[in-house]
C-alpha cells in the first residue's frame, strides 16, 4: 500500500476560496486502490508552510508527497518540473510578509527537479479528458517556497515528491471574470489520477 501525502493551501490574497484546499478536503484515504491518502491544508505563510509540510512528512513517513496550489491564469493542471531557490513576489503572504529577491537557502542548489513522473502524469490526465501540461517552475511565491524546501529536505531520500498547480475553480469565476476556471470535480479526478499513477508504479 503506497502512502501518499497530499497537501493544498488555504485561500490567500483576500480570496475566500482556494481550489487546492477544496481538492484535499474532498479526498478520502481510500479513494484510490493501492494507496492510502493522507491530506493536509497548509498556511500561505513563508515561515510556517514548509515547516508544517516537513513535520507532516516526518510524522507520516509517506512514500510520495504531492503538493497542490492555485495558479490563476492557468488553463490546465500543471505538474511543475523545477523548484527554484528564490522567494520573490509582489503580493504578501497571509502574515503580511513580502519577500523580494531572497534566496531560500544561501548555500544550496539553485534549483531542484521534481521526482514525480510528470510526463506520465500529464498523459494520464489527458486520457481522462483533463487539460494538463508540464510547467517549468512553480513561480517564486509560497508554492515554490514549500516545493524547494521539500526537494531540498528529501534530496537524498527515496520519497517521490513534487508540486502541481491547478487553475481557478468555477466558483471563483465571479471574482476572476476574465480568467479560465475548471470544475472542481474535474480537479479532484485529476488528483486521484495522479495518485493512481504513483500507486500503479509502486506495484510494477
Structural domains of the chain in order of their starting residue, each with its CATH number: 2-203 (3.40.630.20)
pLDDT at 94: 98
CA distance 108 to 75: 32
Cell numbers for 119, please give them: 510526463
| Mean pLDDT computed over 79-87 | 98
For residue 165, indicate whether it is catalytic.
Answer: yes
Half-sphere exposure of 55 (CA within 13 A, CB side): 8
pLDDT at 204: 59
| Mean pLDDT computed over 68-95 | 97
| Mean pLDDT computed over 8-32 | 97
Q: Is residue 80 within 8 Å of residue 162, measured between CB atoms?
A: yes
pLDDT at 119: 98
The one catalytic residue in 21, 36, 145, 165 is 165
| Mean pLDDT computed over 187-192 | 98
For residue 143, indicate whether it is catalytic.
Answer: yes
Predicted model pTM:
0.97
Using one digit for the tens of pLDDT, what is the confidence trace for 23-80? 999 999 999 999 999 999 999 999 999 999 999 999 999 999 999 999 999 999 999 9
Query: How many residues make up the chain in this entry?
Result: 204
| Mean pLDDT computed over 161-169 | 98
The one catalytic residue in 21, 80, 145, 149 is 80
| Mean pLDDT computed over 122-127 | 98
| Mean pLDDT computed over 132-136 | 98
Q: Is residue 22 within 8 Å of residue 8, measured between CB atoms?
A: yes
The one catalytic residue in 21, 143, 145, 149 is 143
CA distance 17 to 10: 8
pLDDT at 202: 86
Lowest mean pLDDT among 77-81, 172-176, 181-185: 172-176
| Mean pLDDT computed over 10-34 | 97
Query: Given a cut of 80, is residue 203 above it in pLDDT?
Result: no
pLDDT at 72: 95
Torsion region of 184: left, alpha or beta (phi above 0 gives left; psi -120 to 50 gives alpha): alpha
Amino acid at each position: 500500500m503506497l502512502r501518499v501525502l497530499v497537501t493544498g493551501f488555504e485561500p490567500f490574497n483576500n480570496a475566500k476560496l482556494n481550489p487546492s484546499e477544496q481538492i484535499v478536503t474532498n479526498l478520502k484515504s481510500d479513494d484510490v486502490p493501492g494507496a492510502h491518502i493522507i491530506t493536509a491544508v497548509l498556511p500561505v505563510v513563508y515561515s510556517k508552510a514548509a515547516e508544517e509540510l516537513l513535520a507532516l512528512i516526518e510524522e507520516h513517513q509517506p512514500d510520495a508527497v504531492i503538493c497542490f496550489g492555485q495558479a490563476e491564469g492557468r488553463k490546465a493542471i500543471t505538474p511543475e518540473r523545477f523548484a527554484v531557490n528564490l522567494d520573490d513576489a509582489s503580493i504578501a503572504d497571509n502574515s503580511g510578509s513580502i519577500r523580494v529577491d531572497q534566496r531560500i537557502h544561501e548555500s544550496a542548489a539553485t534549483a531542484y527537479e521534481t521526482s514525480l513522473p510528470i510526463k506520465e502524469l500529464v498523459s494520464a490526465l489527458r486520457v481522462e479528458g483533463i487539460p494538463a501540461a508540464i510547467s517549468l517552475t512553480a513561480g517564486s511565491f509560497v508554492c515554490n517556497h514549500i516545493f524547494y524546501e521539500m526537494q531540498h529536505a528529501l534530496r537524498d531520500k527515496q520519497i517521490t515528491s513534487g508540486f502541481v498547480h491547478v487553475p481557478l475553480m468555477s466558483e471563483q469565476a465571479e471574482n476572476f471574470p476574465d480568467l479560465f476556471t475548471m470544475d472542481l470535480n474535474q480537479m479532484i479526478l485529476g488528483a486521484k489520477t495522479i495518485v493512481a499513477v504513483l500507486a500503479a508504479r509502486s506495484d510494477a
